[in-house]
Amino acid sequence: MLSPAPMKPHPNDLGPFGQHAPGPLVTRIIQRTRQASLGWAGKRGAFALRKLALRVLAGRPVDTEALGARMRLYPYNNVCEKRILFTPQYFDEPERKVLADAIGPDFVFIDVGANIGGYSLFVAAQAAGKARILAIEPQPEIFERLVYNIRQNDFACIKALDCAVSDKDGEITLFLPEHNRGETSMRIVNSDINGKQLRVMARTLLGLIEEERYDHVDAIKLDVEGAEDLILETFYKTAPQHLWPKLVLMEYSNGRWAIDLPRIMTASGYREMLRTKQNVVWLRD
């Protein structure tokens, strides 16, 4: 009988890529789940198989290729890693298509809340190493995984920064839910009373762009669990227009925002070009 998986995954393992290749059963499950349809029945079957695979893995990471990149994934207390490993077709496919279609020469992409690098590595793969990508992730454990994944890909023209992004420079508190590290935020966004708190340094978005000496920005993705308004209100008040990105992809957190962020985006010359269940994409013509 299969034993249940532990509550927490193993600590980060930075050993050579390939030493955590999945066994035959998990390999077959990954193949099946990645072929699952987008409908209700397909998702239900994929999630059942995923649950079986997690029991077999018992907390171990998995070395795999997904979204065009090599990654070591820990699919336990991070929903992002779970989705990328088993069902990358469910990982923001319409949003990623918009980004892929926008890639051109000297493409500059900023990934705020990069997690383990799903978006950053996808853009790097699509751009064949010719983009400039800034991946920003404040959680030390997740940042370590991000850097590891970047280093496994020759095309990964990505610079990783271990800080938060906020409306001003300085130290801030992050709230880390125990069940899903991808929901870490400057604001309390769920009722996970067992979550931890972490003090980290924060920078403004404009300050980071100026520090990197970008003369333009093509696209920005923000996944900061309801703090998008803090970041963007300050950015559009202070940044020169030649640094305003053409595309802004963000989690749609309208119930959490303290200000009318769609109004700010519209007033700044953007129009909503895509809305999914979780995200919204703004385009500046």
Asked whether the whole model's pTM tops 0.95, one would answer no
pLDDT in tens, the chain (285 residues): 344 444 456 789 999 999 999 999 999 999 999 999 999 999 999 999 999 999 999 999 999 999 999 999 999 888 999 999 999 999 999 999 999 999 999 999 999 999 999 999 999 999 998 999 999 999 999 999 999 999 999 987 999 999 999 999 999 888 766 654 445 555 444 444 455 778 889 999 999 999 999 999 999 999 987 889 999 999 999 999 999 999 999 999 878 888 999 999 999 999 999 999 999 999 998
Residue 123 lies in a domain: yes
Check whether residue 76 and residue 98 sit in a common domain.
no
Q: Do 279 and 252 meet the contact criterion of CB atoms below 8 Å apart?
A: yes
- Could you tell me if 60 and 123 lie in one domain? no
Say which CATH number the domain at 276 has. Answer: 3.40.50.150
Q: How confident is the model at residue 81, as a pLDDT?
A: 96
- For residues 54 and 113, membership in a common domain is answered with no
Same domain for 41 and 129, yes or no, is: no
Would you say residue 12 lies in a domain? no
Q: Do 30 and 126 lie in a common domain?
A: no
Residue 17 in domain: no
**What distance in Å separates the CA atoms of residue 221 and residue 111, rounded to the nearest whole number?**
5
DSSP state letters, 208-241: HHHHHT-S---EEEE--TT-HHHHHHHHHHHS-G
Query: What backbone torsions phi and psi does residue 265 show, to the nearest 5 degrees?
Result: -65, -45
Dihedral pair phi/psi, residue 61, rounded to 5°: -75, 170
- Shared domain check, 79 and 192: no
Same domain? For 130 and 255 the reply is yes
| Domain co-membership, 187 together with 251 | yes
pLDDT given at position 172: 87
Report the domain count for the chain: 2
List the structure tokens of 137: 């992730």
> What pLDDT is recorded for position 179?
57
pLDDT at 148: 98
Whole-angstrom CA distances from 135 to 15, 26, 108, 205, 222 are: 22, 30, 11, 12, 11
Q: Flag whether 18 is in a domain.
A: no
Do 159 and 46 have their domain in common? no
Residue 1, in any domain of the structure: no
Domain that holds residue 31: 24-85
What are the E-state strand segments in the chain? 62-66, 69-73, 108-112, 132-136, 158-161, 164-166, 170-176, 196-204, 219-222, 247-251, 270-275, 279-284
For residue 175, what pLDDT is reported? 76
Residue 98 sits in the same domain as residue 77: no
What is the reported pLDDT for 224?
87
